[in-house]
């Protein structure tokens, strides 16, 4: 059995209106990571990644760069046990 984990991530910077969520979804699906991503009213992006530990860690690292038009100032990640996310979606 693969070691699975969950990361709850907050990304700050110029991360809204730059296709950050769509690029996050695509990157997560390429890595086989489940979860979701959404914009927050304060200008940050929030995401949850669940899956094999190496794939989840790859997504957290990806968040430091994000979409080509983004300017990421900070990434905060909290790790925990998976809660059963299935597929990856953009939340509105």
Whether the model pTM is above 0.75: yes
What is the tens place of the pLDDT at every residue in 39-67?
Answer: 999 999 999 999 999 999 999 999 999 99
Residues 46/38, Cβ–Cβ less than 8 Å: yes
Confidence at residue 42, expressed as pLDDT on a 0 to 100 scale: 98
From 54, 49, 55, select the one nearest 75 (Cα to Cα).
49
Active-site residue set:
21, 39
Residue-level pLDDT at 71 = 97
Q: What is the mean pLDDT of residues 1-25?
A: 94
Going from the N-terminus, what domains does the chain have, and what CATH number goes with each?
14-84 (3.30.70.100)
Compute the distance between CA of residue 60 and CA of residue 64 in angstroms, rounded to an integer. Answer: 7
Task: Note the pLDDT tens digit of each residue in 15-37.
Answer: 999 999 999 999 999 999 999 99
């Amino acid at each position: 059995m693969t070691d699975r984990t969950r990361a709850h991530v907050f990304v700050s910077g110029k991360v809204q209106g730059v296709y950050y969520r769509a690029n996050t979804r695509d990157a997560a699906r390429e890595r086989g990571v489940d979860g979701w991503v959404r914009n927050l009213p304060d200008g940050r992006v929030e995401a949850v990644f669940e899956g094999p530990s190496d794939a989840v860690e790859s997504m957290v690292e990806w968040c430091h760069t994000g979409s080509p038009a983004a300017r990421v100032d900070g990434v905060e990640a909290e790790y925990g046990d998976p809660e059963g996310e299935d597929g990856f979606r953009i939340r509105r």
